[in-house]
Amino acid sequence: MTTSHLLQTLRGTAAVNRSQMARLIESLSRSVELLSIEIEHEEARTGVYNLSAVTYPVLARSLRARKHNLRITIASLEAQFHATEAA
């Protein structure tokens, strides 16, 4: 009886964790989309689109770095999400 209760608790906890992870992935994906819009806006505002240009906006460059880091985080979370799905 105790083992059955423990298994149900573990399954319930895993389901909650997966749900939270899915919401986090969605939220971070929205953040990436917003960063893309901000980058485009900053490039349009300055008229500089070439990353290698000396005059490329510092704000756009830092937003690109944040966007890149978020994509790495999302990929890691998705891998964990799929790993828990298989288990």
pLDDT digits (tens, 9 = 90+) for 9-31: 656 666 778 889 999 999 999 99
What residue spans define the domains of the chain?
2-86
This prediction's pTM:
0.80
Q: Which of 41, 87, 20, 45 has the alpha carbon at shortest distance from 33?
A: 41
Contact 29, 74 (CB under 8 A): yes
Q: How many helical (H) and strand (E) elements, i.e. helices and strands, does the chain have?
A: 2, 0
Contact 67, 32 (CB under 8 A): yes
In this prediction, what percent of the chain has a pLDDT beyond 70? 82
At 60, the amino acid letter reads A
Residue 74 has a pLDDT of 97
What integer best gives the mean pLDDT of the chain?
89
Q: What CA–CA distance (Å, rounded) separates 76 from 83? A: 11
pLDDT over 80 at 6, yes or no: no
